[in-house]
Amino acid sequence: MENTIKIRATLENGVTTVKLQILHPMDTGLFRDAKTGNVIPAYFIKELRCEHNGKLVLEALWSIAISKNPYLSFSFEGGAAGDTVKVSWTDNKEISGSGETQIS
């Protein structure tokens, strides 16, 4: 799948702050198509994982309550400039995406 994550990780005073946005429609399954009247099926990210140098630092289980193109910011201790932060997700159609960056 094409690049679906915009991600940035910065270090300040020993704390790494990760900011990311995932490009995903996040359909709830509660709305109808305006032209056809058919229900738009649910299509949402169900699992998000963030790793620092291969170690899990955040895991989130999401559902239909998350908005389109979700934005997430979180912090953790123990990172260093140049370390790798990887984010991966899987949705309810078993489609997945990932991205990574180095801490600056």
Beta strands in the chain (DSSP E): 5-12, 15-22, 45-52, 55-61, 71-77, 84-91, 96-102
- CA angle, 4 as apex, 88 and 93 as ends, to 5°? 70
pLDDT, averaged across the chain:
96
- The domain segmentation of the chain, as residue ranges, is 5-102
Residue 3 reports pLDDT greater than 90: no
CATH of segment(s) 5-102: 2.60.40.10
Q: How far apart are CA 43 and CA 72, in angstroms?
A: 19
> Within a 10 A sphere around the Cβ of 90, how many other Cβ atoms?
15
- Contact criterion met (CB below 8 Å) for 59 and 3: no
pLDDT score at 87: 97
20-42 confidence digits (pLDDT tens): 999 999 999 999 999 999 999 99
